[in-house]
Structure 1
Amino acid sequence: MTSPVIHRVTTLALAVRPIVWPFAEEQRAEIASHFAEKQRERPKLWNGRVLLGRDAVFNDGHLSATYFETDFASFLAWRDWGFPDKAVFNGFGMGALRASDGAFIMGEMAQHTANAGRIYFPSGTPDLDDVRDGALDIPGSVIREVGEETGLTEADYRAEPDWHCVVTGPSIALIQILDLDMPGTVARARIEASLANEAEPELSAIHLVRGVSDLTPSMPRFVTAFVEQQFAPR
């Protein structure tokens, strides 16, 4: 796998356009069959509408790209089949919750989700709810995903202005650090209490990462690359 590259940017220009995706159109039958198989494994999977990106350009602290709408089944097939269309990328926002004692807080995805067992920051593939005036609102997506997965709201953290864009092959993780006014153990307990009130939470466990020694193979490379940079000697 290509080594991750991290771009630090301050502005995002992510236009949403009506683009036909040849991969999804030409392999519709195979994609439908693949999704049916995945649904048999995890019946809670839902074939909603999501947004994927193309034409990403990093320049002088700025990221521009174009996003287009497709269905989750096509995205899942593209991912599971080794990303056959190299012109497309999965670009999503992540909220890197950082406690007052420096610990990063990550969630372990529950078994009914598409990424069961994986450990990372609150995030999600952008969808139509994240579109504002013809553009993808990644800051809004981060706020929404953090709230849905952890119960934390904007009143609980301070968002840093910059974005750490971790490029790993066909994925671009747009990571924003969210600073909490509470230590890691308190934040974990609060999130666990929120999860306990949900009938079927997205997360099955909460993990504290206080250094690179806490990284595990269950964490995606874009997450470990970001954490390694954060804990690197200054």
Structure 2
Amino acid sequence: MSFDLPRNVILPVDAIDVRLDPGPHPFALSNAEAIAENWRQEMATNPALFDGTVVLLSGLAYRDGRLVGRCHAVNYSTFMLWRKRRENSGAEHAYAHAMLVAGDNALVAIRMGSHTVNAGRVYFAAGSFEPIDFRDGMVDVDFNMIREVGEETGLDLSQAERGQRYHALSTASGTVIFRRYRVAETADELARRISAFVAAEAEPEIEGPIIIRNATDLPDGLMPHMKPLIEWHFGGTVS
């Protein structure tokens, strides 16, 4: 399976069939020494990093409104080297965003903590897919979204109103799968709850909440993939 999907355009997605291959990713096998050396350098710069398990794609395609793909569990150290060598690597990254929509239609994002790889960057609370996010070998995207939002912000989105479908945006840096999650509280109320959660955490992942009230309200540190998602939301798309 190759990577065969339109780039730099928001795609409607009705189903996601991304499966976990039990075998090793070819990138991990062919770069073992470089992965170990790069990890030593990364740890010297940021000792707070943890070499946990994430997944990396070996194929992804868009067919008739469906995302179909294959991925492999890899160490985070493998992912870190891949970030530097992604071009022509035979691997790509996919991740999910719960687009948190407040009762006043503002979006609530987060700014990452200073000890993280994406320190200071702004995006919706999210994290890479992990083996725990798979059911019978297939990724459960909503489980990942709800889990990551809960871990980073303390909010429980399990009862939130979900958008009718997913959407996806694929760029050179990866593919983000996103879905609206609507709650009744205002953005200010959500921000207060998130700030209180962060203040109570011994080692919070995030610096705090960021409210985005319109398509031109773009905060410093915004990740590049976020701008088209924000424009899409405030452009009136209802799904």
The residue number in structure 1 matching 2:69 is: 65
* Residues 1:115 and 2:105 aligned together: no
C-alpha contact 2:98 2:126 (8 A) present in aligned 1: yes
- State the Cα RMSD in Å: 1.8
Paired position in structure 1 for 2:161: 158
Q: Which runs of at least 4 in structure 1 moved beyond 6 Å after TM superposition? A: none
Residue pair 1:156, 1:181 contacting (<8 A) in 2 also: no
Distance in 2 of aligned mates of 1:14 and 1:63: 7
Are 2:192 and 1:181 aligned? no
Whether the 8 Å CA contact 2:157–2:181 is kept in 1: the answer is no
Which ranges in structure 2 are unaligned for 5 or more consecutive residues?
A: 1-5
SS in 2 for 1:201: coil
When normalised by structure 1's length, the TM-score is 0.92
- Work out which of the residue numbers 139, 142, 145 in structure 1 matches 2:145: 142
Shift of 1:83: 0.8
Aligned pair count?
A: 232
TM-score normalised according to structure 2 size:
0.90
CA contact under 8 A between 2:10 and 2:167: conserved in structure 1?
Answer: yes
Q: Which amino acid aligns with 2:48?
A: K
Corresponding residue number in structure 2 for 1:208: 211
Unaligned runs of 5+ in 1: none
1:25 equivalenced with 2:22 (yes/no): no
SS in 2 for 1:73: helix
Identity of aligned residues (%): 28
**Compared CA separation, residues 130 and 119, structure 1 to 2 (3 A):** same
Contact 1:78 1:85 (8 Å CA) reproduced: no
Aligned partners of 2:134, 2:7: CA distance in 1, in Å? 31
Q: Deviations over 1:118-155 (max 9, x none)?
A: 10001101111112111111111001001001111135
Instruction: Return the offset for 1:54.
Output: 2.9
Q: What is the letter of the counterpart of residue 91 of structure 1?
A: A
